[in-house]
Structure 1
Amino acid sequence: MAYRNKVYVCVEYDSDNRYYNTLKMWDKNDKFDFKFHNAHDLNTIMQFSNEETIKKRLRERLLNTKLMIALIGERTKYHHKYVGWEIKQAQKLDIPIVVVNINKRNRMDSDLCPASLKGQNALHIPFMKEAFLLAMENWYDFYHKTAKYSGGNDYYWEQFD
């Protein structure tokens, strides 16, 4: 098994890629204390690749993943081909999931959250650098010590209310 130290960002790329690019910008900016090992840096997927090849590459990335960040926007819950598949794979692999609401809501957003993430022991946070930092520093350990045994809850950080 691969050493899991990467952060996998699950995003509906057509409409929400600017938020993914913001994460990469924060990572590259020396003025921000925001660093992550991006799972998407592991291998290349060509835009003309077939679905089977794409999913094979995504699974390779997930096998190196310690934490999934699921960016949730207006259209995310309608994208099952890859976004839904990525979420299900992360759940099968017992990868802790941080649900990041692009609309900056600090709890599970029942209107936008994909059904596969509701009541699934995921952390729901607003799209804020401080919330990301707290989640990346603490969610993995909390999930493996407590959350995954809780029977299906939606978690959030109270300080971002």
Structure 2
Amino acid sequence: MPNRTGTYVAFDGLGQTDPTKSDFRYYATLQAWNGNDNIEFKLTNSHEKTAAVRDTSLRATLYSRIQERFRGSKNMLVILTTDTRKTGSVLSYEIEQAIDTYEIPLIIAYPGYSAICNVDALSGMWPKALSDRINNKDVEAIHIAFAKNPIINAISRFYVNGEHLSNGKNYYNRQSYVDWGLVE
């Protein structure tokens, strides 16, 4: 098995070919932070460790590449929005694989929030694959605001050989978000 050092980033492309009309824009934000020498943010991106695939690739090719990326991933950053589809997207497959096959902890980030302190209030955004697993399986997940500091903290702490999470509904306390300057 390859060295599991990467973070697998997953989001719903919403069936769009224009990345500005999908949740790809949040992935692009991560890439911009990572590429900016003036921002303290480093991400070992599992997607950059394998050859690229296109949305037009055969599903078998896409799934094979996803599995290859998971074999080298220590955790998975899932970006969820109110537009995230409940079923029918590749995101559902990625969630199933991360939890069922690779037992990878999930870091679930929500753009547009400055703090996440009530996980159940966000359950309406969860794809069915995630909801089923949080409610019925032994899942390690933390729910965070889509912001640089919570992402950095979670990626550095919660991974296959790192700190373990007690269930699928963990979150940082309000004071953590105050300390990060995200709430008063």
Same fold, TM exceeding 0.5? yes
- How many residue pairs match? The answer is 155
Output the CA distance in 2 between the equivalents of 1:114 and 1:142. Answer: 25
Match of 1:99, SS? strand
**2:106 equivalent to 1:97:** yes
**2:156 equivalent to 1:137:** yes
| Matched-pair identity in % | 28
Name the aligned partner's letter for residue 157 of structure 1: Y
Cα drift, residue 142 of structure 1:
1.6
Output the CA distance in 2 between the equivalents of 1:101 and 1:61. Answer: 23
Asked whether the equivalents of residues 86 and 128 of structure 2 are also in contact (C-alpha less than 8 Å), the reply is no
Output the CA distance in 1 between the equivalents of 2:10 and 2:107. Answer: 10
The structure with the greater share of residues assigned to helix is 1
Normalising by structure 1, what TM-score?
A: 0.88
Normalising by structure 2, what TM-score?
A: 0.77
2:33: which partner in 1?
Answer: 26
Output the CA distance in 2 between the equivalents of 1:64 and 1:80. Answer: 25
Q: Which has the larger radius of gyration?
A: 2
Output the CA distance in 1 between the equivalents of 2:28 and 2:73. Answer: 19
2:19: which partner in 1?
Answer: none
Output the CA distance in 2 between the equivalents of 1:18 and 1:48. Answer: 19
Of 141, 146, 152, the residue aligned with 1:127 is: 146
Cα drift, residue 8 of structure 1:
0.6
Q: Which runs of 5+ in 1 are unaligned?
A: none
1:8-157 maps to which residues of 2 (within 5 A)? 8-14=8-14, 15-41=22-48, 42-91=50-99, 92-104=101-113, 105-106=115-116, 107-108=118-119, 109-118=122-131, 119=134, 120-140=139-159, 141-143=162-164, 147=165, 150=166, 152-157=167-172
Q: Which runs of 5+ in 2 are unaligned?
A: 15-21, 178-182
Asked whether the equivalents of residues 125 and 157 of structure 1 are also in contact (C-alpha less than 8 Å), the reply is yes
Instruction: Say what the alpha-carbon RMSD is for the aligned residues.
Output: 1.7
Cα drift, residue 79 of structure 1:
4.3
